[in-house]
Structure 1
Amino acid sequence: MHIQLLGGFRLDCGPGPVHVVPGARRLLALLALRDSPVPRRVAAALLWPDTTERRAGACLRSSLWRLVKPETPLIVVTEDALVLGAEVDVDFRRACAFAAAPGASPEAVTMLKADLLPGWWQPWVEAERDWWHQARLRALEVLSDRFRVSGDRHHAYQAALAAVQTDPLRESAHRTLVELHLADGNPAQAVRQYQSYRTRLRAELGLEPSSHIHELVRPLLR
């Protein structure tokens, strides 16, 4: 059994995806984001915040009842708490492991550049999304450096580009791309990368790039 949170929600049981009603989908996502059991009252309040405690509890019981029931349980239910079944694989948890200790593999880049539950507006999702945004940026830059040290400039470029796409105003990622273009003997592309960043930074924040990135291309600008 597999739950996908990166790039959108999906539940796979057996050979393919399984349809999940909205309430149960939110419940599975909440538990997939938590490593420890979630008290039933907390889960109900988070998932149905605009209703009474009694109504939220009823919605929680209904979602549990309507959830697909494979041989191995998706959710372990106790009197007071809920937790995701131990046999359920979650892509976000594996991505978090990559972020904590980035290994130089293309799979890591693919997972780290994916958004967490895009389009979901719930506060408990947005809090995790904010954390994921910063964690994956740091990890992508570490990965880019490791690929570059190992001589794999292609994947170093892919990791740095993913960081720029995640945060277009992050200067350290742009600087890495400029350095990679220069190392590849491509000064024109290095200048274009710098000028693209400079134009966006000016337009959105009214700022200039730092001297660190400017010094890389200053001889070329002359």
Structure 2
Amino acid sequence: MTRLHIQLLGGFRLDCDYTDVHVVPGARRLLALLALRDSPVPRQVAATLLWPDTTTRRAGACLRSSLWRLVKPSTPLVVVNEDTLTLGPHVEVDFRRACAFAAAPGASPEAVGMLKADLLPGWWQPWVQAERDWWRQARLRALEALSDRFRSCGDHHHAHQAALAAVHADPLRESAHRTLVELHLADGNPAQAVRQYQTYRTQLRAELGMEPSRHIHELVRPLLR
């Protein structure tokens, strides 16, 4: 059986038996769409989403062409029924594994690496943007939960990594900055805690004209005095 793996995090890639396979743009979008969906996608829906700026007839023709031009390994990439399309049952998808981490984040360094990656960066189709918006919020919550779990286990190194990944994903997310401030204080680094607070305060003022909340300010108030 051919090992098939689709990467969506950090950019699209199709591997067949650990070898990168070139995929034409139409087929690439089709595989990405099916990889993002857990249930079968009606052919007409897929054609409309993938080729929204053309007629229904032309979109259907483009879909048939993309299916024909797909690489055809011994393990099927796409299961084609009369009215629906589904990703092959043995195709691995990194995004689905990352979603499992996000749903139940365990204290695993691998989870941090997957959760900090963007979903299909550079793709601006509406069906991608909707998934990207969901993924952004899900991974932020998961990264903060991971940071707390690492910290409770005494692993401050990976706790810092998870919190930093959340800050990089959303530089104005106060809860992530607060986690980093708490970690610096727990590590006995008050100066670094103040710098983290001041960085967040400067960004918040510059972009939104707001001040940090009392909760994060109280952490460093004794040090500021």
Matched, 1:171 2:208: no
**Which residue of 18, 28, 32 maps to 2:31?**
28
| Partner residue in 2 for 1:139 | 142
Code of the aligned partner of 2:74: E
| Deviation, structure 1 residue 199 | 0.3
| Partner residue in 2 for 1:93 | 96
Matched, 1:156 2:159: yes
| Partner residue in 2 for 1:195 | 198
| Partner residue in 1 for 2:124 | 121
Give per-residue Cα distances to partners, 1:187-214, cap 9 Å, x unaligned: 1100000000000000000000001000
Matched, 1:184 2:190: no
| Deviation, structure 1 residue 11 | 0.1
Query: How high is the sequence identity, in percent, across the aligned residues?
Result: 86
| Partner residue in 2 for 1:213 | 216
| Partner residue in 2 for 1:7 | 10
Tell me the TM-score normalised to structure 2 length.
Answer: 0.98
Code of the aligned partner of 1:37: P
**Which residue of 27, 42, 47 maps to 1:44?**
47
| Partner residue in 2 for 1:19 | 22
Cα distance in structure 2, aligned partners of 1:151 and 1:116: 31
| Partner residue in 2 for 1:110 | 113
Cα distance in structure 1, aligned partners of 2:115 and 2:173: 16
Cα distance in structure 2, aligned partners of 1:121 and 1:195: 34
**Which residue of 51, 55, 72 maps to 1:69?**
72
- Runs of 4+ residues over 2 Å off in structure 1: none
SS of the residue 1:208 aligns to: coil
Q: Between Structure 1 and Structure 2, how many residues are aligned?
A: 222
The answer for unaligned runs of 5 or more in structure 1 is: none
SS of the residue 1:169 aligns to: coil
CA spacing shift, 1:219–1:168, aligned 2, 3 Å: same
| Deviation, structure 1 residue 15 | 3.3
Cα distance in structure 2, aligned partners of 1:201 and 1:16: 45
| Deviation, structure 1 residue 52 | 0.3
Cα distance in structure 1, aligned partners of 2:79 and 2:106: 32
Give per-residue Cα distances to partners, 1:23-64, cap 9 Å, x unaligned: 000000000000000000000000000000000000000000
SS of the residue 2:211 aligns to: coil
Cα distance in structure 2, aligned partners of 1:202 and 1:171: 13
SS of the residue 1:119 aligns to: coil
| Deviation, structure 1 residue 78 | 0.6
